[in-house]
């Protein structure tokens, strides 16, 4: 799969979806590699498809004319390519198990540093050049910090560019920098700065390790997770039953309160508020139960699929792949999946109907 974005004036834009709004950059739950929320990821099957999408994205890049260049890129562009390779384990290891390898390629086109005296920029062009130089300065500071001392704190948060390149500079990867220089005398200062920039970058070293995932190991993890989710569902069902009993008790008190003259209006109001709160808590628990049941169904389906794959490989060694009995068991598995999905949809529809009835009852009560 591939994604293509540009950073223009510190705003992230999806080049493969030009009509999309500005995208937000957020860190993952571990605080490591940030992710661009809403960035499109297109799956491809050939190099030709990748090149076609790359050409489409390049046409959407922000380019303007300056005194120095007729066509000057006003943004930093980042191309992200994700690759996954899945192979079955050799004989002697777990029968039918698979092993997946993951790779990620970042290709970054940095906008060149600009001097206002050379480009003669004004207004909007001047502001664009300031953002470009600010991002390049933040990147230079990160490179200097990484080159000087590995234990030194490296501030990647000064720019969205450095936040996105954090893994490329100090993570599990190989990094290559291509510097663009000019032999012209009038560009000697920019050429010198670029060479110093690249010389500092080449001193950075990373420890690279393979990204390998053993599928057979994760199947056992799914089984443990399914057991935990089933226990959680049982506890939530018990809590819902106890809540319904409390609601029934409150409903039985309501007529007595209306008939009795000894209770004040303030006490009646408190009881009504308690009933409303109990209804809200019940609905929250039911929605949570639905989410857990949905997650459990997804995990169960994934586990069953992996189990079928494992059984298929095991049977292939006994020359039973064409057995009618095996086809019947496979067909039964698919009907079981469809049955579970249908029960889940009926349960979700029932929850939505109950939610509507309760809201209607609350509206009638408030009136």
- Please, what is the angle between helix 265-316 and helix 215-259, to 10°? 160
Q: How confident is the model at residue 4 (pLDDT cuts 50, 70, 90)?
A: very high
Task: Please give the helix or strand (H or E) that residue 125 lies within, else none.
Answer: helix 124-148
Q: H or E element: which one contains 284?
A: helix 265-316
* Interval 88-107 mean pLDDT: 70
DSSP letter at 20? Answer: S
For residue range 225-236, list pLDDT tens digits in order: 788 888 888 888
pLDDT of residue 231: 85
Long-range CB contact pairs, 311-317, < 8 A, 24+:
311/96, 312/96, 313/88, 313/95, 313/96, 314/95, 314/96, 317/95
167: closest CA among 32, 1, 26?
32
- Model confidence band, residue 362 (pLDDT cutoffs 50, 70, 90): very low
Residue 22 above 80 pLDDT? yes
Q: Quote the pLDDT of residue 16.
A: 92
Q: CA dist 304 to 20, 217, 247, 298, 318, Å?
A: 38, 15, 40, 10, 21
Q: Residue 330 — pLDDT band, cuts 50, 70, 90? A: very low
Which helix H or strand E contains 11, and what residues bound it? strand 11-14
The pLDDT, as a whole number, for residue 239 is: 84
Mean pLDDT of the chain: 76
**What would the mean pLDDT of 141-147 be, rounded to a whole number?**
84
Q: Are residues 12 and 22 in contact, defined by beta-carbon separation less than 8 angstroms?
A: yes
Q: What is the residue-wise DSSP string for 59-94? A: HTS-EE--SS-SSEE-SEEEEEEEEEEEEEPPTTSS
pLDDT greater at residue 13 or residue 289 = 13
In the chain, pLDDT over 70 holds for what percent of residues? 68
* Crossing angle (nearest 10°) for helices 124-148 and 188-201: 40
* Alpha carbon distance, N-terminus to C-terminus of the chain: 55
Using CA atoms, how far residue 108 sits from 8, 28, 75, 86, 295, in Å, is 14, 21, 11, 28, 37
Predicted local confidence at residue 75, as pLDDT: 87
Rounded to 10 degrees, the C-alpha dihedral 127/129/131/136 comes to -170
Model pLDDT, residue 337: 47
Predicted pLDDT at 7: 92
pLDDT, residue 296, reads 82
Lowest mean pLDDT among 69-78, 170-179, 211-220: 211-220
User: Which pLDDT tens digit goes with each residue over 100-120?
Assistant: 778 888 999 988 776 655 656
Q: Which domains, from first to last, does the chain contain? A: 2-210 (3.40.850.10), 215-366 (no CATH)
pLDDT tens digits, one per residue of 266-320? 777 888 888 888 888 888 888 888 888 778 888 888 777 777 777 777 666 565 5
Beta carbons within 8 Å of 321's beta carbon, 6+ residues apart: 312, 315
Mean per-residue pLDDT, 194-198: 86
| Contact residues for 80 (Cβ-Cβ < 8 A; gap 6+) | 2, 3, 4, 5, 104, 105, 106
Q: What is the pLDDT of residue 328?
A: 44
Q: Which helix (H) or strand (E) holds 308?
A: helix 265-316
- Kind of pairing, strands 34-37 and 24-27? antiparallel
Given a cut of 90, is residue 132 above it in pLDDT? no
**Tokens of residue 64, six digits:** 């303007």
Return the pLDDT at 331.
Answer: 46
pLDDT for the residue numbered 283: 82
pLDDT bin (cut points 50, 70, 90) of residue 78 is very high
- Name the pLDDT band for 255 (thresholds 50, 70, 90): low
What is the radius of gyration, based on Cα positions, of the chain? 30
pTM above 0.85, yes or no: no
pLDDT digits (tens, 9 = 90+) for 206-226: 777 766 555 555 555 667 778
């Amino acid at each position: 799969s591939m994604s293509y974005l540009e950073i223009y004036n510190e705003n992230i834009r999806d080049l493969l979806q030009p009509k999309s709004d500005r995208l937000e950059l957020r860190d993952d739950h571990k605080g490591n590699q940030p992710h661009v929320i809403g960035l499109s990821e297109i799956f491809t099957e050939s190099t030709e498809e990748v090149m076609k999408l790359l050409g489409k994205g390049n046409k959407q890049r922000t380019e303007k004319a300056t005194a120095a260049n007729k066509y000057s890129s006003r943004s930093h562009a980042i191309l992200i390519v994700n690759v996954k390779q899945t192979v079955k384990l050799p004989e002697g290891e777990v029968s039918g198990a698979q092993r997946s390898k993951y790779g990620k390629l970042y290709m970054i086109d940095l906008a060149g540093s600009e001097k206002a005296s050379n480009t003669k920029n004004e207004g909007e062009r001047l502001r664009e050049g300031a953002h470009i130089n600010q991002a390049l300065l933040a990147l230079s500071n990160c490179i200097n910090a990484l080159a000087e001392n590995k234990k030194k704190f490296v501030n990647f948060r000064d720019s969205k560019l450095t936040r996105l390149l954090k893994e490329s500079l100090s993570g599990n990867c190989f990094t290559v920098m291509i510097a663009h220089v000019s032999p012209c005398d009038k560009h000697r200062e920019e050429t010198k700065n670029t060479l110093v920039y690249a010389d500092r970058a080449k001193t950075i070293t990373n420890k690279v390790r393979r990204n390998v995932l053993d599928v057979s190991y994760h199947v056992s993890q799914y089984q443990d997770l399914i057991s935990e989710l089933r226990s959680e569902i049982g506890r939530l069902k018990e809590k819902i039953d106890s809540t319904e009993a409390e609601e029934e008790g409150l409903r039985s008190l309501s007529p007595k309160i209306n008939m009795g003259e000894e209770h004040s209006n303030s006490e009646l109001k408190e009881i009504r508020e308690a009933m409303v709160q109990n209804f809200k808590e019940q609905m929250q628990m039911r929605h949570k139960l639905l989410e857990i049941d949905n997650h459990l169904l997804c995990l169960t389906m994934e586990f069953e699929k992996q189990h079928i794959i494992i059984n298929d490989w095991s049977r292939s060694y006994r020359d039973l792949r064409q057995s009618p009995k095996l086809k019947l068991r496979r067909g039964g598995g698919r009907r079981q999946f469809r049955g579970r999905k249908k029960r889940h949809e009926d349960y979700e529809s029932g929850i939505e109907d109950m939610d509507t009835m309760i809201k209607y009852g609350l509206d009638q009560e408030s009136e």
